[in-house]
Structure 1
Amino acid sequence: MTTAADLARQADAVLLDFDGPVCRVFAGLSASVVAARLKELLTREGVQLPQDVEALDDPLKVLRRTADFAPELVDTVETALMANEVEAATCAEITPGVREFLEACAEAGKPVAIVSNNSEPAIETFLALADLGEWVTAVSGRPIGEPNQMKPDPGSTLRACKALGVEPARAVLIGDSDFDMQAAHNAGTRSIAYATEPAKAERLTQAGADAVTSSMAELAAHPQ
């Protein structure tokens, strides 16, 4: 059985989801608060929110659904979400072990890209504040104004591979969501599920993960 350590060692390049493997983006400014802000914005614009949207506490899902019921407001919601993400990035919590993992990848000569449904300004803000930027070669964030192109669409993953100069089959994507596993499959990359709970590990395995890890520190010992 191929382990997460095996996949990390075999890959020529590493693709990291942002929220989860790198940090908890909404640790200081909660996702539910940001989602509420976006829903309030839509309401102020005169939109009657669908019942399922009223119940959402994930701002990315609010953005994704806005394209369905109020496409003329996608740019407005996108701008607001990006500002909130940047704010959240200033108080995000770094994931234990990711610094050591990035250092180990650098020592092994493996380039790293961030592949995320979060916005690039938010990602770059956190990388700068956490002093991680030197170990990240490329950032492939959410396609602005095109929520339908977020993961599981393979576009951001393929852009990251191109930026790193690696064939998708020679890269591994480490993520913590079903969309990450599906995006990896759609792009033709291998995938490692980052899951700290058994139930999540099982769910991501069912979503197509090639291997599972519960610790970025665990992977830091095996990037060569």
Structure 2
Amino acid sequence: MTTAADLIRQADAVLLDFDGPVCSIFAGLPAPVVAARLKQVLVKEGVQLPEDVEALEDPLKVLRRTAEIAPELVDKVETALMGNEVEAATSAEITPGVREFFEACAEAGKPVGIVSNNSAPAIETFLAVAQLEEWVTAVSGRPIGVPEQMKPHPQSVLWACKALGVEPAKAVLIGDSDFDMQAARNAGTRSIAYANEPGKADRLTQAGADAMIGSMADLV
């Protein structure tokens, strides 16, 4: 069976999802608070929220649903989400082991890219605050204004590979969600599941993960 270590050794470049493997972006500004702010933007614009949208506590899901229930407001909700993400990034908590992992990748000559459904400005803000900028060569954030191109769509993974100058088959993506595993498969990239919570390992295996880790320190 292929191990996570095998995949890292075989890869010419390493890609990481942002929220989870790199940090907990909403540690200081909770995701439900941001979701509520986005829903308020919709309400102020006169949108009658469906029950399922009213119940959402994930801001990215609110953005996805905005494209369906009020496509004319995608840009307004996108702008609000980005502002909240940048605010959240200033109080995000770094994932244990990720700094050491970035350093190990640099020593091994493997460039690092971040592939995320969070916005690039938020990612760049966190990298600056955490002083991780020197280790990250490419940032592929959420495709602005086109929520349908967020992961599991392969676009952001393919863009990161192009920016790093590697073929997708020679990269490996580390992520903690079904969408990460699916995006990797859709792009032709190998994947490592960061299963840091009970029940994640089975779910991410079913989503197509090629290997599994329980912490970022496992890879160092």
- The bucket for the TM-score relative to the shorter chain is over 0.9
| TM-score (normalizing by structure 2) | 0.99
1:97-108 maps to which residues of 2 (within 5 A)? 97-108=97-108
Whether 2:180 is the aligned partner of 1:180: answer: yes
Deviation at 1:63, TM superposition (A): 0.2
Runs of 4+ in structure 1 deviating by more than 6 angstroms, as ranges, are none
Residue by residue, what CA displacement relative to the aligned partner does 1:84-137 show, whole Å, maximum 9, x if unpaired? 000000000000000000000000000000000000000000000000000000
SS at match of 2:2: coil
Deviation at 1:8, TM superposition (A): 1.1
SS at match of 2:6: helix
1:52-131 maps to which residues of 2 (within 5 A)? 52-131=52-131
Q: Distance in 1 between matches of 2:161 and 2:75?
A: 27
Deviation at 1:213, TM superposition (A): 0.3
Q: Distance in 2 between matches of 1:99 and 1:212?
A: 19
Q: Distance in 2 between matches of 1:54 and 1:81?
A: 16
Residue by residue, what CA displacement relative to the aligned partner does 1:187-223 show, whole Å, maximum 9, x if unpaired? 0000000011341111000000000101111101xxx
Instruction: Give 5+ residue unaligned stretches, structure 2.
Output: none
Deviation at 1:180, TM superposition (A): 0.2
- Letter of the 1:4 partner, please give it: A
- Letter of the 2:111 partner, please give it: P
- Letter of the 1:118 partner, please give it: N
Residue by residue, what CA displacement relative to the aligned partner does 1:48-84 show, whole Å, maximum 9, x if unpaired? 0111111100000000010001000000000000000
1:1-224 maps to which residues of 2 (within 5 A)? 1-220=1-220
- Letter of the 2:205 partner, please give it: T
Q: Which region of structure 1 is more displaced relative to structure 2, 135-144 or 189-198?
A: 189-198
Task: Provide the identity percentage.
Answer: 83
Q: Distance in 2 between matches of 1:135 and 1:110?
A: 10
Pairwise CA RMSD of aligned residues? 0.5
SS at match of 1:143: coil
Q: Distance in 2 between matches of 1:36 and 1:8?
A: 39
- Letter of the 1:23 partner, please give it: C
| TM-score (normalizing by structure 1) | 0.97
Instruction: Give 5+ residue unaligned stretches, structure 1.
Output: none
